[in-house]
Structure 1
């Protein structure tokens, strides 16, 4: 070994051309890394100053590349002039640690509870059950309004699902290359993440929690009932409504609940949901998915109430009700023209105007056939869904 070291030192001392060649190669590498670092700085500045809508993983990825390029530049400087730039490595590490600390978001808990009944006090916690489930629990527990029986699979179950299947890296890698202005990029990233989620396994402890809540529901019923599996992401049905972005699966049997659960989780990464979230400025971690499991109601008529129109003043004293015959699926999917009622916000409310429906068919729930579409009869065509 000593002979080899002596031979190396001899070559360095008596072959200055090799030393110059190595330093020149390091200088070329330095120029390339400097160019790449400036390109990354320009891209980050463009995102910041032009307020470009990108997923936060894009920013994290670009900063990671930038930090690596700067570290390589310092290594090249040390090769060119050993000892002179040794302190730069220490400064780079300090700045890098500080920036990465600022970029890292707080990790949410993946500990139980994984499922919570709607009549339980924890169902009022939006961070745990999502916006839609919290509002439903509030209507039941606080306002004493009738709501479908059910439970919610919590945001903690979502974090447990992602961690158990080691999907964090796959999701971050795909989101870091997402361009929401490219249809091809959206489709490619969405498909990769959704396929991985649908193919993943629901952890055993989450399965047990869901099965336990389902057994509690079954104990209340005199016969087997079908279920509606609905999204309830954190922030959903709030200022960030996410209206129509996530999936709802109707007429689900007890044996299909876990596949339906994964489909709703996957819808968090649908192209439209990705565009909505990123344009609103939310990171992926700020919108974890909880999932509602409620009994199917064979509704005679359904509707959506809007308490304030987006283009109206806050002092506007009206609300509107959009109603259709049968289940509300054709209404929210935009396939039926509903009857529209304008009501004054008085006590009791007073209908001030009506617009007749132009509905031709209705979606109904049949205990034997499931969801079926029927043509409206003459009486329904002539009559409004709400008298």
Structure 2
């Protein structure tokens, strides 16, 4: 970058002859830069959307995750290509980092449900809750209750997930059935996809080895329950994810009272129910992919129930109530779970075991019974039992004991199905987790809360949420080391270094910044409520003042607003869906930003790029560096340049990359300039007197002005300064005698693209005066929000991610600073004079900053 400074000469260089090839080279590099910026923004916007989705309240499906990952993957690869085109393939190491991260993400997206290789059938006595991936959730729970809790569970066996795989592979149904792109919001499309999938299953053939295994298991089950007068079974779904975190209640088919010769056909019916419209909708709405839809099946001895029902170990609508709720109906339990008839109810105390707290005995007119030739029949309830409870108090107490035992074993409330046979034997048919609906805290409307003063109601939300605490103003990054726990960080502009206190911050506010910027992404990663672009927070808020940041409605209130803080508590149970778990997993390789400090040479390199965000940040930073040195080119003057006629003592030549100068212009004046940053700079250059000292003062100040203007000033300004411009871009190398400064800027509509970069070196005075000059410039730049590093008399300053208006304003100030500090080192004979010049410049040119 500093090679250009070695070319400073004390006499005018000959202007080389124009060459079209140089301009073409500039255009090609600028085109790559523009494309890189565009893809950089799309990447950051996509990451922001994914993070907001992860933190938000809306469900998404796998199409969302796949499409977003594809966008990021493609665009990151693009910006690596563009960066290497800009830099003559200087950063090929980025490809290795990219491939490593991309492979991890693709592996996560392609990961299938693991189906262990097992026998096609497994008896209940060999099943436990650890075998979910083999026998499905319902079967695993039945085996667990039978073998580890010794609860009364019917005899039966599992047709395993491995059997399902065999069936699907044998008929090539994995490839024939595709519901991944079905729009669940389009009922017609959903029904058509469902019918097509079910038809394929129902017409499929059972492999002979699977059919033989099922037949053998049926025979063995018949031997076990030979004491039963009639041997029939129920064939029940037991999908891999069923009866676990997600119940899938009522989504799949159960075939009741099946004869031994019809078990295989009933098995196929249950497999087909995996693809009913409601099952497809449920799976997709809960974030499951088609590859997650694996169906094991349970074949259970049919209990000829005189009564059956459902039991909750806790009240699902009120976590504070302490009763066990038992609902029951006469006959088979299907009418209870389907709500076809009103159930009788017993509420048994949890605190005083055996105490009946409540009872209800509605009249039941119809019930469902096993048919003599299979299947079920609907019959009238006999008059003598119609008004009676289907359970005695003692039976209700026994069931309540089972409920407490199951809740203790599984460590969470349970939803339990039970049956009572003709001999009054109780059976547990199913147990699964019961979701408790916590008390809802009503979210207030977005209108301002009455009785609470709004301090700021402008800005953009970068991370939703509510945080309250005392204001901690951050003017310089080194102040972060004293950041207190629970404070609200308030800064002039966003900084990735804020990450160091995000585990302490209750909220973040910045006057300047972008919701899709790097820090905003980190805020979402840490879940810190963040508002950016408030413009006035640093001026409005006072250190130590307690405030509440509502980063949902974009308002900042005075004091702690209790109702907002409490209302923020919300149900996030849906965040455990498979799609959210996968989104969370892939985001760990996409969103985190580890490269936070470009000045850290040991870490800010391709070898430390661990995520796509790291690669994006690195490529963006290096691309700006490459563009900054675009004028560091021995062929610069040979480009097709136009002389700019302007009333300043500079010989300026313009190279237009496209859109920077009016078409057809032959005589270039400031009026012909269309480049946004160049126009802003010229406005400043022509608004200040050239060259001249400050107004003459008496005494102390008279010594300052004595040597401001060199007698040979005209010669000192005679070297050519080159400006390479486009509509939004400018790279301007200004030669001021012994000094050289390069000013680069981008001023467009996207805040993420905008920046100013300033590099300065030179001076004909003594070392101490040159150092004072750079100190003066550094202090002024820092006053106007530049980040500046200084090594001797070399300055490197930058400001990034400001809106276009601010960039234009700052360029005008930079232009005035250029004229103001011309040859100033000749007058800077002590530090006090430096301080005076800083105050004068700020007072005269930065009063509104």
TM above 0.5: yes
Residue of structure 2 equivalent to 1:155 = 161
2:575 — aligned with what? none
- Are the equivalent residues in 1 in contact too, given 2:258–2:374 (CA < 8 A)? no
Q: CA RMSD in A?
A: 4.1
Q: How far apart in 2 are the matches of 1:272 and 1:375?
A: 31
Distance 1:249 1:271 in 2: 18
Inter-partner Cα distance in structure 2 for 1:37 and 1:198: 45
Q: Is 1:249 aligned to residue 281 of structure 2?
A: no
> Are 1:259 and 2:265 an aligned pair?
yes
Q: Which secondary structure state, in structure 1, belongs to the residue aligned with residue 209 of structure 2? A: helix
Structure 1 residues 225, 170: CA separation in 2 closer, same or farther (over 3 Å shift)?
same
Structure 1 unaligned regions, length at least 5: 1-35, 76-82
Distance 2:197 2:91 in 1: 44
8 Å CA contact 2:237–2:298 kept in 1: the answer is yes
Report if the CA contact (8 A) 1:327-1:362 is conserved: yes
Higher helix content, 1 or 2: 1
SS at match of 2:264: helix
Aligned to 1:215: 219
Q: 2:57 and 2:77 mapped to 1: Cα distance?
A: 28
**Which consecutive unaligned segments of at least 5 residues does structure 2 have?**
1-41, 82-88, 393-849
Q: Which residue of 2 aligns with 1:351?
A: 356
SS in 2 for 1:228: strand
Q: Judging changes above 3 Å, is the alpha-carbon distance between structure 1 residues 351 and 96 closer, same or farther for their aligned structure 2 residues?
A: same
| 1:288-343 C-alpha deviation (Å, 9 max, x unpaired) | 22111012121111111111222222672x11111111111222222111111111
**Alpha-carbon distance, 1:370 to partner:** 4.1
> Structure 1 107/337 Cα, relative in aligned 2: closer, same or farther at 3 Å?
closer
- SS at the partner of 1:219? helix
What is aligned with 2:119?
A: 113
What's the offset of the Cα at 1:161? 2.3
Residue 191 of structure 2 is matched in structure 1 by 187
What is the deviation of 1:354?
A: 0.9
- Using structure 1 for the length normalisation, give the TM-score: 0.75
2:235 is paired with a residue whose SS is strand
- State the match for 2:424 in structure 1: none
In structure 2, the CA distance between the partners of 1:311 and 1:380, relative to structure 1 (3 Å rule), is same
- 2:207: which partner in 1? 203
Shift of 1:270: 2.2
Q: Which moved more, 1:322-331 or 1:185-194?
A: 185-194
1:5 counterpart residue number: none
Deviation, structure 1 residue 159: 2.5
Partner residue in 2 for 1:298: 304
Change in 2 beyond 3 A, CA 1:47/1:192: farther
Quote the Cα distance in structure 2 between the aligned partners of 1:88 and 1:346.
Answer: 64
For 1:43 and 1:345, locate their aligned partners in 2 and report how far apart those are by CA, in whole Å: 46
SS in 2 for 1:300: strand
CA contact (8 A) 2:273 2:279 kept: yes
- Equivalents in 2 of 1:64, 1:201: separation in Å? 38
2:388 is aligned to 383
Once the 2 structures are TM-superposed, how far is the Cα of residue 365 of structure 1 from its aligned partner? 1.2
Give me the whole-angstrom Cα distance separating, in 2, the residues matched to 1:124 and 1:89: 45
How far is 1:250 from its partner?
0.9
- The answer to whether the 8 Å contact 2:364/2:387 transfers is no
- Indicate the larger mover: 145-154 or 45-54: 45-54
Change (3 A) 1:185 1:251: same
Please give the secondary structure, in 1, of the residue aligned with 2:305.
Answer: coil
Are 2:72 and 1:60 equivalent residues in the alignment? Answer: no
- Any idea what SS the aligned residue of 1:337 has? coil
Q: Label 1:254 to 1:38 Cα distance change in 2 as closer, same or farther (>3 A).
A: farther
- Deviation of 1:180 (Å): 2.3
C-alpha distance in 2 between matches for 1:41 and 1:185: 31
What is the CA–CA distance in structure 1 between the aligned matches of 2:64 and 2:157, rounded to whole Å? 36
Relative distance call for 1:238 and 1:369 in structure 2 (3 A) is: closer
Answer whether contact 2:363 2:387 (CA < 8 A) is retained. Answer: no
Instruction: Find the aligned partners of 2:44 and 2:198 in 1 and give their Cα distance.
Output: 35
Alignment of 1:69-148 (within 5 A): 96-109=102-115, 111-118=117-124, 120-127=125-132, 128-148=134-154
Q: Are the equivalent residues in 2 in contact too, given 1:230–1:293 (CA < 8 A)?
A: yes
Q: Which stretch of structure 1 is more off in the superposition, 108-117 or 64-73?
A: 64-73
Kept in 1: contact 2:232–2:374 (CA 8 A): no
Instruction: Look up the SS of the partner of 2:282 in the other structure.
Output: helix
Would you say 1:289 and 2:295 are equivalent positions? Answer: yes
Mapped to 2, the partners of 1:103 and 1:361 lie a distance apart of: 50
| 1:131-152 CA-partner distances (Å, limit 9, x unpaired) | 2212222222223232222111
CA distance in 2, matches of 1:197, 1:52: 33
Cα distance in 2 for partners of 1:296, 1:325 equals: 16
SS where residue 229 of structure 1 aligns? strand
* Residue from 336, 343, 363 that aligns with 1:338: 343
Which residue of the partner structure matches residue 365 of structure 1?
370
TM-score, structure 2 normalization: 0.37
The alpha carbon displacement at 1:166 in A equals: 2.3
1:281 Cα deviation (Å)?
3.4
Structure 1 residues 348, 66: closer, same or farther in 2, change over 3 A? Answer: closer
CA distance in 2, matches of 1:312, 1:299: 31
Structure 1 stretch displaced more, 89-98 or 180-189: 89-98
Q: Give the Cα–Cα distance (whole angstroms) in 2 for the partners of residues 178 and 69 of structure 1.
A: 27
Q: Which residue of 1 aligns with 2:562?
A: none
